[in-house]
Each structure stands twice: as structure tokens, then as C-alpha cells.
Structure 1
Amino acid sequence: MKNLDLHAQGNWLPISLGLLMFLYALFMPKKEIGWRDLYVTFGIIGYFAWISDSLFAKMLDLVDFGNPNITGIGEFISYSLVPSSLSVIYLNYLTKTNKWILVIIFTIISTLIEWGMRKVGYMKPHGWSFFISIPLYFVVYSFFLPLHRKFIKCRT
């Protein structure tokens, strides 16, 4: 039980946000993506999120989530459900006409989630800043996710 890090300060935020976004991603009306796309996106984005956690939080020690010595349930959800759910929701509504509006909206949403995790004390940066996060979110939503969608839509 102690390895779940249930008593970490602010643990409720990543757990509640992650579960709400995951449920929304599952039950939202599918417009621009199907179940196959959802499945592939969850796997790919989840993988990249865990690689990012390994690199930025563990190896470079730029940020801690909850107890820095354990990967608790909040950190697990922060990297498994939050980015994947946001990506699926983004891709579900992404069209050629609304791309830049969605890029801005989802960059703001991602920044607000990070700000909230800092505010409740769950995320403790050690050199990580919004000056890194905001351009990173912008590149992910404007370039990486549209490219990812091209790959998963290609059937050949």
C-alpha cells in the first residue's frame, strides 16, 4: 500500500483529472477517430509519456511527482492517462479548419493542468519551468499529434 503513495500532497488532482479525462475519452462521441485510433494513440502517447518521465523526472531530476522515491498511483495516472486522454480528445476534434484554435486551447489546458499540479503541491519542479512546458505542448499539439494521426490513418 505504501508504494501507491496515496498520502502524497495533492494526489487527488492527477487521480481525479486522469480518471475523468479517461472516461470522457472512452465515452465521447467519436468524430475524427475510431476505436482503433484510440487504442493506438493510448499506447504510443503513453509510451512517450513514460520515456519523458524517465528522462526528465528520473535521469535529469528536473521534477518530482509526489514522493520522489516511489512511482505512486498519482504519477502512474499522470503519465498513463492524462497525456493519452488529452491526445485522444484532441485528435477526436481536430480538423483542418480548427487546428490552430485547438492547438491554443489544448496548450492552455495542458499548462493549466501542470499549474494545478504545482499549486496543490503534487508536482515539485527542480529546474523545470513553464518556459519549457508551453513550447513543448505547442509542438506536440501542432506537429507531433497531427503527424501521429497521419500515420495511424494510413492503411498501407
Structure 2
Amino acid sequence: MISLNSITRNLDLHAQGNWLPIVVSLVLFLYALFMPKKELSWRDLYITFGIIGYFAWISDSVLGKMLDLVDFGNPKITGIGEFLSYSLIPSSLAVIFLNYLKKTNKWILTILFIIISTLIEWGMRKVGYMKVHGWSFFISIPLYFVVFSFLLPIHRKIIKCRD
């Protein structure tokens, strides 16, 4: 029989700093859903959420579980904060980025989203939710650069191609 105590424990609700990934995830997700669609259609949003969410979970599996470079909350369980961190934050940031991306603002937007991503990561470290074991900003920032300057624009070209 499942008890309320086991549900609470499995959701990792008492993890230090758990409130931050929950708040950031929900704010970004709601903004991504309700922002005026400029450069993305609902179809593009749907595809981007799925693809980026998939790669975020693969990253968690490799970096967090297999290589043990980072832990979110309790390292033995995937709580609600970690679930939302990987399910909503990267996908929402990608959708928002691509919605505003134009040839004329690519580099400004890239720098802005690198800063936003770094601040989210810094905040999760600061509140004690994200614990690193060999991971550093010297890895994160170049990774954010590659994602926002190259991978997401390529992703947009692929999803816009109707052939």
C-alpha cells in the first residue's frame, strides 16, 4: 500500500532548495505556452519540447547518473524538482529562444540565453539544490554557447523544412 509519507519521500519535497527548480520551471513553461508566437508555430513548439526534453533526459542519465558529475536533490531518487528541471527548463528555454530568434539578433539572444542559463544553474547551486562532483561553469558556459549558437538554430532549420 502506498502511503502519503512514501509519496512525499519519492517526490523529494523536502530537498534543500527544491522551491527554485519548481518556480523556475513553471514560470518558463507558462511563458513558453502563452507568449505571442512570432517565429515558432504550435507544431514547432510541440516538436521542440519533445526533442529538447529527450536530450535533457539523456544528459541527466549520462552526466548525473553514469558519470555522477551532478546531483539534484536526493541523489538516490528523481524528485519533482529534478523531474521539472530536466523536463521543463531546457525545453522552455529552447522554445522561448527560438521564438525570438532572427538573423539580426542571433548573437545578442545567444549571449542573453547563456546568461539566463548560467544564472539558473548558479541559483540552483546557491540554494543547495544542485550539488556538483567535477562539473563546473567552465563546462556549462561553452555547452550553453554550442546549444544556443549552433544546435538550436540547426534544430529550427530541420523543423521548418517541409520536404
TM-score of the superposition, structure 2-length normalised? 0.95
When the two chains are superposed, the root-mean-square deviation of aligned CA atoms in Å is 0.3
Cα deviation digits, residues 88-139 of structure 1 (max 9, x gap): 0000000000000000000000000000000000000000000000000000
| 1:103 maps to 2:110 | yes
Aligned partner letter, 1:51: I
Which entry has the higher C-alpha Rg, 1 or 2?
2
Q: CA deviation at 1:47?
A: 0.2
* Alignment correspondent of 2:26: 19
1:144 pairs with 2:151: yes
Match of residue 42 from structure 1: 49
Equivalent residue pairs, number = 156
Structure 1 residue 51 and structure 2 residue 58: aligned? Answer: yes
Partner of 1:8: 15
- Give, in whole Å, the separation in 1 of the partners of 2:29 and 2:110: 20
Identity of aligned residues (%): 82
Q: Which 4+ residue blocks in structure 1 deviate beyond 6 angstroms? A: none
- Alignment partner of 2:75 out of 45, 68, 71: 68
Tell me, in whole angstroms, the C-alpha distance in 1 between the residues paired with 2:58 and 2:127.
25
- Using the alignment, how far apart are the partners of 1:103 and 1:21 within structure 2? 17
**TM-score, with structure 1 as normaliser:** 1.00
- Residue 125 of structure 1 corresponds to 132
Instruction: After TM superposition, give the deviation of residue 53 of structure 1 in Å.
Output: 0.2
2:49 alignment partner AA: F
Instruction: Please tell me whether residue 155 in structure 1 is matched to residue 142 in structure 2.
Output: no
